Amino acid sequence: MGWQAVTLTYRATAPLLLGDHPLGFIQRTRRFIPGWTLWGALTATLTRACFPQADGARYEAVGAWVANNLLTSYAYLLVKDQHGTEQVAAPHFEDGRWWYGPLPAAQFEARFVTSLGQTAIAPESMTAQTNTLHETETLSAFDLATGAPARWQFILYRQIGASPHQQINSQVVETLAGLSWAEVLAALQILTVGAERGYGLGRLEQESAVPPRPAGDNTWPVPLDWNDKDKVLRAHVSVGNLDGAHVCGRAEAIPWRWWKNTPDADGKSWGPGQQQSVQCFYVPGCVVKKEATWSPVVGQHGIWQKG
């Protein structure tokens, strides 16, 4: 039992819409790809690649396997600093300002954040309801300052030689666990992430992959993007998993809603929207205080938890 990790770099070929809390009539986008968004992309891509005629239950089984055996970090844009060195644009607080990698937030947004106005149109009358026009942010497929393609990077963690954490369809386990690294990476050549995928948004094409390296031998992998010196969070962390006295930064409430393809034992919960909850997390960019002994591992959906 153990974990291996591969660092993947993707090139955006379409804008990305990664839902965030709205601001008035502006539908905002996150500046990074959360782990749960990557989990959905991996689940959909692997299901289509390995089970072309899969039904909903098969998607659910693949999703459960991915959530426990094929984890990811969060994905961040790659940008160059003033010396030409490429860095991930991970959020952090420095000199009284919010930064994304080597760029102040305002400069990062000027280079990568775009927006468009939109509304729903009634086809029979070609009209829209009053006050429904809104602006939607997207992350550009290219650097607006240089014209270079936008490139994303994240770490893919795979559990080697272990049984799944929960009971999952045996055919799914046998098929997915039997894939080599080369077969996994071949299946993930193209990912579609975020919202409005049906309109062509969110398409990423694999550009490179770093050879596998060890990522721990415990139940969950050690995050390779955790720096024990600066202790900046690179993923969400549940407020229940990290004492507030030991962290500087902000938290956000995230509403969760997910689909079930099988009923609960009481037979009452079935279909979309039946499973939902609201959880509070420290956001990426928060800093764990130097004196704290807390160190993370990568949990389901890329969310960090106490190791």
Q: What are the pLDDT digits (tens) for 36-92? A: 999 999 999 999 998 888 777 788 889 989 999 999 999 999 998 888 889 999 999
pLDDT for 96 equals 84
> Encoding tokens for residue 75?
């994905």
Determine the Cα–Cα distance for residues 68 and 158; give it in Å rounded to an integer.
9
Determine the Cα–Cα distance for residues 136 and 18; give it in Å rounded to an integer.
10
Q: List the domain range (segments joined by +) for residue 49.
A: 2-222
How many structural domains compose the chain?
1
Nearest to 283 by CA among 246, 245, 242, 233: 233
User: Above pLDDT 70, what percent of the chain?
Assistant: 88
The answer on pLDDT for 252 being more than 70 is yes
pLDDT band of 129, cuts 50, 70, 90: confident
Q: pTM for this structure?
A: 0.89
What is the DSSP code string of 154-205?
A: EEEEEEES---SS---HHHHHHHHT--HHHHHHHTSEEE-SS-GGGT-SEEE
The answer on pLDDT for 21 being more than 90 is no
Nearest to 112 by CA among 79, 153, 155, 75: 79
- Look at 52-56, 104-108, 292-296 and tell me which has the smallest mean pLDDT: 52-56
Residue 261 lies in a domain: no
Residue 136 lies in a domain: yes
Determine the Cα–Cα distance for residues 51 and 74; give it in Å rounded to an integer.
26
Model pLDDT for residues 268-285, shown as the tens digit of each residue: 655 555 677 889 999 999
Residue 148 lies in a domain: yes
> Encoding tokens for residue 36?
């749960």
What mean pLDDT is reported for the chain?
A: 87
Residue 244 CB-density burial (10 A; 0-12 exposed, 13-18 middle, 19+ buried): exposed
Residue 155 lies in a domain: yes
Determine the Cα–Cα distance for residues 254 and 101; give it in Å rounded to an integer.
24
Residue 266 lies in a domain: no
- Look at 2-16, 120-134, 167-181 and tell me which has the smallest mean pLDDT: 120-134
Distances in whole angstroms, Cα of residue 120 to Cα of each of 79, 100, 125, 133:
35, 33, 12, 8
* Amino acid in position 207: E
Q: Hey, is 47 helix, strand or coil? A: helix
pLDDT band of 266, cuts 50, 70, 90: low
The answer on pLDDT for 153 being more than 90 is yes
Nearest to 12 by CA among 198, 190, 144: 190
Model pLDDT for residues 217-247, shown as the tens digit of each residue: 999 999 999 999 999 999 999 999 998 889 9
Nearest to 197 by CA among 28, 32, 26, 41: 41
For range 115-136, the mean pLDDT: 74
Residue 44 lies in a domain: yes
The answer on pLDDT for 139 being more than 70 is yes
> Encoding tokens for residue 15?
């804008």
Sheet holding 275-282, edge to edge: 251-258, 275-282, 237-238, 304-306, 296-298
Q: Hey, is 227 helix, strand or coil? A: coil
User: Above pLDDT 90, what percent of the chain?
Assistant: 58
Task: Between 102 and 256, name the one with better pLDDT.
Answer: 102
Task: Between 26 and 162, name the one with better pLDDT.
Answer: 26
Model pLDDT for residues 160-210, shown as the tens digit of each residue: 876 555 566 677 888 888 889 999 999 999 999 988 777 778 899 999 999
pLDDT band of 7, cuts 50, 70, 90: very high
* Structural contact between residues 43 and 62, judged by C-beta atoms closer than 8 angstroms: yes
Determine the Cα–Cα distance for residues 303 and 307; give it in Å rounded to an integer.
12
Q: Hey, is 35 helix, strand or coil? A: helix
Determine the Cα–Cα distance for residues 191 and 35; give it in Å rounded to an integer.
14
